[in-house]
């Protein structure tokens, strides 16, 4: 089954404790992206990647890092999480940035 998977689905952590949210797709898509969804602010892009070793900032990249060492994986790294990073995070993939994007199930992160 073609899908985008994210792990973990739920995470509660404390301020400053480094964490990684994994994202993997099995559709051989070149483009991958991370979004966060917040009440009243909607979905906003954090980072995206056009291909292996090619990443770029989205609209809200502060406090996040990404890497794309393999085509199928695009982890989101929070080096020192803060409470304002409490949010619902989605990973998406596509053949290219201008094609239909397919989303993972989401990761609900709470930083206390």
Partner 1 sequence: KQEVTQIPAALSVPEGENLVLNCSFTDSAIYNLQWFRQDPGKGLTSLLLIQSSQREQTSGRLNASLDKSSGRSTLYIAASQPGDSATYLCAVIDGNKLVFGAGTILRVKS
List the interface residues with partner 1, window 12-41 (CB under 8 A): 31, 33, 35
Length of the chain measured in residues: 112
Question: Of 60, 78, 92, 109, which lies in the binding site for partner 1, with binding defined by CB under 8 A?
Answer: 92
Residue 77 sits in the site that holds partner 1 (CB under 8 A): no
Minimum CB distance to partner 1 smaller for 51 or for 82 = 51
CA angle 77, 57, 76 (to 5 degrees): 15
| Of 89, 102, 80, 68, residue with least CA distance to 21 | 89
Question: Of 13, 19, 61, 106, which lies in the binding site for partner 1, with binding defined by CB under 8 A?
Answer: 106
| Of 76, 102, 101, 66, residue with least CA distance to 22 | 76
| Residue ranges that bind partner 1, judged by CB under 8 A | 31, 33, 35, 42-45, 48, 50, 56, 58-59, 90, 92, 97-106, 108
């Amino acid at each position: 089954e073609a899908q985008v998977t994210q792990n973990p689905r739920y995470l509660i952590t404390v301020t400053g404790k480094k964490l990684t949210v994994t994202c993997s797709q099995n559709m051989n898509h070149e483009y991958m992206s991370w979004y966060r969804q917040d009440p009243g602010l909607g979905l906003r892009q954090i980072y995206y990647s056009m291909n292996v070793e090619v990443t770029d900032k989205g609209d809200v990249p502060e406090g996040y890092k990404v890497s794309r060492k393999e085509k199928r994986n695009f982890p989101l790294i929070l080096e020192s999480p803060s409470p304002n990073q409490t949010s619902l995070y989605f990973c998406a993939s596509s053949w290219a940035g201008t094609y239909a994007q397919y989303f993972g199930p989401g990761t609900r992160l709470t930083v206390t």
